[in-house]
Amino acid sequence: MTIIPVKEWMTPALEIFHTLSEPQLLHYYEPDLGLFMAESPNVILRALAAGYEPVSVLMEERHVNGRGAEVLEQLAGWDIPAYTADPAVMNRMEGFSQEKLSLTRGVLCAMRRKSLPAPEYVIAGAKRVAVLEEVVNPTNVGAIFRSAAALGMDAVLLTAGCSDPLYRRAIRVSMGTVFQIPWAFFPAESWPKEGIRTLEKEGFHTVAMALTDDSIAIDDENLLRKEKIAIVLGTEGDGLREETISACSDTVKIPMYHGVDSLNVAAASAVAFWAIRRVQ
């Protein structure tokens, strides 16, 4: 690894960090898999531990012997550039306000994506699985991953309409747990019927979170006795599709009070994950 001090923010070497959009990063090596951006030392270290390949790193000069030292230590065996810059240079980069630098802890790493496993591989041996249907907000996706990791879920599956868990904001909100929880996308044409059948074939009791007349409480004793549970959460606002609700074995809801009829999908996921995991 070579450490390269940078004095001018417009140098082409830094465009990858502040100019390229999420789609441009995604297609950076097309037709091969593209890139994603890991921000902050803890997130970068979690990505490295999960086997993701670094391409280049950028950090404030003062972090070389501080927050970024462990990152540089882990990257020592890689033949990649490590760019350093003072805060004045980084502040001039597009989108890098002082607030943004605080969020990234002044350390960023461009990394290559990996091929995703099939859903069947991800759920093999799992007991508790979350399925996200068209959850489009990366903040919600990141928050759900963080709850899944914290509350003992074994895997997360996403439908084709969901936000990419490797978008910057999703990674950041998840605190890097997207690198710790196994996940995969269902092919667009397979959801919901084939996807639900895949889960049931692996022995999962499928439950849809929805406010319907026949919903049971998320802490229903008969539900909690199930050996394997796959809980399906729907898109912001509209919730799950009727076709998805019909395909699942049960429909569940979180009992609520004071006239509140629903929670944000990220908040609801945390409640549901705790409820179905606590009896194990």
Q: Among 112, 143, 174, identify where a domain stops.
A: 112
Does the pLDDT value for residue 94 go beyond 90? no
List, in sequence order, every beta strand (DSSP E) within 134-277: 155-158, 183-185, 205-209, 216-217, 229-233, 250-253
Q: Give DSSP secondary structure letters for 39-82.
A: ESHHHHHHHHHTTPEEEEEEEEGGGTTTTTHHHHHHTTTS--EE
What are φ and ψ of residue 242, in 5° steps? -60, -35
Pairing of strands 205-209, 183-185: unpaired
Which has the closest alpha carbon to 78: 110, 119, 46?
110
Residue 101: pLDDT band (50, 70, 90) is: very low
The pLDDT tens digits of the residues spanning 221-238 come to 999 999 999 999 999 888
Q: What is the pLDDT of residues 132-173, one digit of tens each?
A: 999 999 999 999 999 999 999 999 999 999 999 999 999 999
Comparing C-alpha atoms, which of 41, 52, 32 is closest to residue 166? 52
> Count of domains in the chain?
2
Residues 215 and 234 in one domain: yes
Residues 43 and 83 in one domain: yes
| Residue 23 parent element (H or E) | helix 22-26
64 with 179, same domain: the answer is no
**Per-residue pLDDT, 280:** 45
Other beta carbons within 10 angstroms of residue 77's beta carbon come to: 8
DSSP H or E segment with residue 5:
strand 2-5
Q: Do 154 and 267 fall into the same domain?
A: yes
Instruction: Please indicate, yes or no, whether residues 83 and 212 belong to a single structural domain of this protein.
Output: no
Contact 113, 31 (CB under 8 A): no
The verdict on 102 and 36 lying in the same domain is yes
Residues 106 and 144 in one domain: no
Asked if residue 214 and residue 192 are part of one domain, the reply reads: yes
Is the domain of 87 the same as that of 172?
no
CATH of residue 133: 3.40.1280.10
DSSP per position, 158-172: E-TTSPPTTSHHHHH
Lowest mean pLDDT among 96-110, 133-147, 168-182, 198-212: 96-110
What average pLDDT does the segment 81-101 reach?
69
pTM: 0.91
- What are phi and psi for residue 193, nearest 5 degrees? -60, -55
Q: Which domain holds residue 20?
A: 2-112
What's the CA gap between 100 and 88, in Å, rounded?
13
Residue 273: pLDDT above 80? yes
> 36 and 155: one domain?
no
| CATH code where residue 78 lies | 3.30.1330.30
Separation of alpha carbons 243 and 224, rounded Å: 24
- 193 and 85 inside one domain: no
Contacts 24+ apart (CB under 8 A), 238-247: 239/209, 239/210, 239/211, 240/133, 240/208, 240/209, 240/210, 241/133, 241/192, 243/192, 243/193, 244/133, 244/191, 244/192, 244/196, 244/208, 245/208, 245/210, 245/212, 247/192, 247/193, 247/196, 247/206
Are 45 and 167 in a shared domain?
A: no
